[in-house]
Amino acid sequence: MNTGISFTGLKNIGYARIIVDDNVPKSRVIMNMELTNDKNNKDLTNFRQILRNRPQLKNDINDKFVNIEHDVVKANGCLYSKVMLNGKLILPNERDNYIMSFLKGLVNRVQNLKVKDFQVDPDYHLMREAQEGLVYKEDIVDYLDGSKGEFDILKGSGLTEKFDLYFNDPTIQLSEKDDEKLFNSVDEFVAVLHDPLYVKQRASLMDALLKSYTNIDAGS
């Protein structure tokens, strides 16, 4: 039974990978989670300490959340990467090293969590923290219908094209019942992005990406 009480310090964890442009390949890998304190980990307290020095890193949707995003762009035969925390750039340098260590620790714990230990609040997928918090401060529909990119798990399924048709074709007039079904399907997809098995299976990619975000002299 899921009580909604976290015994891991982490809860309501979501994951997404977005393909932005096939012509100039860009991949966005995102993990969003709520921090708590428990007997073994003081994640929320530790993050509050980071915010004392870097208040701009506060999550604008819910200040108990961290949104971690790793972007990779391939251009002219080279790969360029960056890490964002709550929409702000984190550099692989001495100044940000303690923040990177904190993020790596969180993601590594997610990767090693047992599925039964994931905690997701009832109807969390309907909350703003999920609907707007996963793809940070963006409308998730823009990625369901392909307007700004495409979720990797939908690629080749034809569902992105269907969402585009129903949301954007002015000649399509949905009944009230069908309109409700459409928005319910959005909610159901958001729930998939927070499914414990789905998140656990994909956390290893984020873990590897953060570990490979190498130390470079990126300035202070």
Residues 6+ apart with CB under 8 A from 65: 32, 33, 34, 35, 59, 86, 129, 133
pLDDT tens per residue across all 220 residues of the chain: 344 444 568 999 999 999 987 677 789 999 999 999 988 889 999 999 999 999 999 999 999 999 999 999 887 888 889 999 999 999 999 899 999 999 999 999 999 999 999 999 999 999 999 999 999 999 999 999 999 999 999 999 999 999 999 999 989 888 889 889 999 999 999 999 999 999 999 999 999 999 998 644 444 3
What was the pLDDT predicted at 8? 66
What was the pLDDT predicted at 217? 43
- 3-state class (DSSP) for residue 27: strand
Strand ranges (E), the chain = 10-21, 26-35, 65-75, 78-85, 88-90, 150-151
Tokens read off for 26 = 């860009």
How many CB atoms are closer than 10 A to CB 87? 14
Q: Work out the widest C-alpha separation in the chain, in whole angstroms.
A: 57
Residue 168 included in any domain? yes
Task: For the sheet with 88-90, list strands across it.
Answer: 88-90, 78-85, 65-75, 26-35, 10-21, 150-151
Residue 203 included in any domain? yes
Q: 133 is in which domain, residue-wise? A: 10-211
pLDDT in tens, 40-60: 889 999 999 999 999 999 999
Residue 5 included in any domain? no
Alpha-carbon Rg for the chain, nearest whole angstrom, is 18
Residue 217 included in any domain? no
pLDDT in tens, 146-173: 999 999 999 999 999 999 999 999 898 8
Residue 51 included in any domain? yes
What was the pLDDT predicted at 220? 38
Residue 219 included in any domain? no
Tokens read off for 44 = 């929320």
What was the pLDDT predicted at 7? 54
Per the structure, the count of domains in the chain is 1
Supply the DSSP symbol for 79: E
- 3-state class (DSSP) for residue 60: coil
Residue 218 included in any domain? no
Residues 6+ apart with CB under 8 A from 160: 144, 145, 146, 150, 151, 154
Residue 149 included in any domain? yes
Task: Give the DSSP H or E segment for 161.
Answer: helix 159-168
